[in-house]
Chain A
C-alpha cells in the first residue's frame, strides 16, 4: 500500500513538473533531471559501455523532452517514458557501433553504491569489474530487459511493449539474462 501511494505521489509530482516545464520553468526541468538522470545514465552506460556516450544519450533524451513537451501526452509514467527513450537511443548507438569491438573496460567508470563502506567498495571492485564484463557479453535484448528492469524498475508489461514482444518473452529474457550472468561469474555473486 505504501509503495502504491509513493508511486501515485511520484506520478502526480511528474505531472506537475511537466506542466511547469511546458510553461518554460527551468527549475522543473532541473528537478526532473535530478530525479531521473542517474538511473538513465546507468541504463545507457550498461547498454553502450561508454561513460561519455551514456551522458550524450541522456542529454539527447532531455533535449528531445524539452522539444516534445508542448505536445507530450504521457500514457505511462515519466520515468518509463524517459527510460524507453534512452533504450531506443542506446540501441541506435549500438547498431552504429556493432561492427566495432567493445571498448576496453575502464576501472573508474563505475562506483559501488554509497551504502558500502570503503573496505567493501575495494572488495567489491573486482567483482563489479567481472560483472560488467559479463553484462557486455549478454545478447543485446536480454541485456536491455535486465537493465531496464534493474535500473529503472520498468514493468515487464512496459518492457515487452518497448521490445515489441510478449510479456512472457520479456520475463524469459530477464531470467535467462540473470542465469547467464550467474553462470559467467561462476558462483561469485554472494547469496
Chain B
C-alpha cells in the first residue's frame, strides 16, 4: 500500500507567488472597487409587484392557475410530446430519461471496450494503440489494458471497507501488487458515464438517425456546448441506445485538443457492450500472478 502524503507534500510546493508590488497593486485595485458608489436595486417596483400578486385572494388563485397551466401545457406542447410506446425517444425528455435510467438499474454486470481516436486537422483519424476492456458489476470492476493486440495489464477493483483494493498484474513488466483506493472506479466507470449522459439528455439538441450498431437497431442523441454543463474537457457527447432494450450501445465523448502529446481532437469511444449473464462468473476475481512475477509497484522497478 502506498501513501498519498509525499505526493501531496510535493504538490503543496507548486506555488504561484506574486511580488510584493503586484500584491499591493491588486489590493489597491480591490480597494478602488470598495470606494465605488453602490448601485441601488429598484426596490419600489418589486414591492409593487408583490402587492399585486400576493395581497388578494383572486390574484393568488389566478397565479396558482397560471402555474398549473404552464406546467401541464409545457409538457403537452413540447415538440417531443408526440411519441408512441414503440417510439419512446419521441416522448418528453424527462420520460425517456426515466426509461433509460430504469433500464440501467436492471443490469447486474456490463463489459465494454474503450478506445480513443484522434482526429487530425486534415480529417485523418488515428486510433490510440492502447485500449481498454471494462467489466463492471454492482460493486466490483475490472480493466484489461491492451497495447495493440497484446494484453499489458489487468486490474481488479474489489471492495474493502469504505474504499477499494486495486489488484494488478503487469504482464509487460512481470510484476503484480495492490493499491488502496478511496471511493469507486469513479470517472472510469462506464455505468457512471451512462448515468451522466442520461442526466444530460434533456439538453440534447439533436436526435441522430437510427442506425444498426453491433447488430442492434439504435437511436442516438447528441449534446453540445452549454448542454454539457460544467465539463470543459468535453465538446460533444453522442450516445446510441438499443431501441428495444433501451440500454447503451455506443458512447462518443469528443474532447478538446489538449496540446502536448495529443495529435488532434480526441474522441473516446465506448462500444462492444455486453450485458449481464454473458460474462463469465470469475470475471471479477483477481487471478494469481504467473510464476516468476515479483510483488512490486511499477514505479519501484529498476529502470532499464
Contact = CB atoms under 8 A, between A and B. Distances in A.
B192 interface: yes
Interface string B235-274: 0000000000000000000001111110000000000000
Given A66-B33, A113-B12, A141-B233, A136 B260 contact: yes
B31 A150 contact: no
For chain A, give the interface size range.
35 or more
Nearest to B180: A175
B256 A131 contact: no
A171 B26 contact: no
A104 to B, nearest CB: 10
Contacts of A169: 183-184, 186-187, 192
Given A70-B38, A139-B233, A169-B187, A112 B13 contact: yes
Interface centre among B11, B16, B33, B261 (most CB of A within 10 A): B16
B18 A41 contact: yes
B183 A175 contact: yes
A182 B11 CA distance: 11
B216 to A, nearest CB: 29
Given A101-B259, A137-B260, A141-B231, A63 B23 contact: no
Interface stretch (A2-10, A11-19, A50-58, A72-80): A50-58
A41 B16 contact: yes
Interface stretch (B1-9, B75-83, B89-97, B203-211): B1-9
Contacts of B22: 55
Interface centre among A109, A113, A175, A182 (most CB of B within 10 A): A175
Contacts of B13: 110-113, 116, 124, 128
A111 B92 CA distance: 55
A5 B3 CA distance: 27
Given A41-B17, A173-B186, A190 B6 contact: yes
A178 B16 contact: no
A132 B34 contact: no
Nearest to A50: B16
A173 B27 contact: no
A169 B17 CA distance: 31
Contact of A131 (B10, B38, B185): B10
B136 to A, nearest CB: 13
Contact of B33 (A63, A127, A172, A173): A63
Interface string A38-55: 100110111000010011
Nearest to B230: A164
B38 A178 contact: no
A38 B19 CA distance: 11
Interface in A100-128: 100-102, 109-113, 116, 124, 127-128
Contacts of B29: 59, 63
Interface of B: 2-4, 6-8, 10-18, 22-23, 26-27, 29-31, 33-34, 38, 179, 181-188, 192, 229-233, 256-261, 297-300, 303
Given A113-B12, A168-B183, A172-B182, 16 more contacts: A30-B27, A33-B27, A37-B23, A67-B33, A110-B13, A110-B14, A110-B17, A137-B261, A140-B232, A151-B12, A167-B183, A171-B183, A172-B188, A175-B182, A182-B2, A182-B7
27 contacts: A29-B31, A29-B34, A33-B30, A42-B16, A55-B16, A59-B29, A94-B232, A100-B259, A102-B260, A110-B15, A135-B14, A168-B184, A169-B183, A169-B187, A171-B182, A171-B186, A172-B185, A173-B186, A173-B187, A174-B182, A175-B182, A176-B187, A178-B4, A178-B8, A181-B11, A182-B2, A189-B10
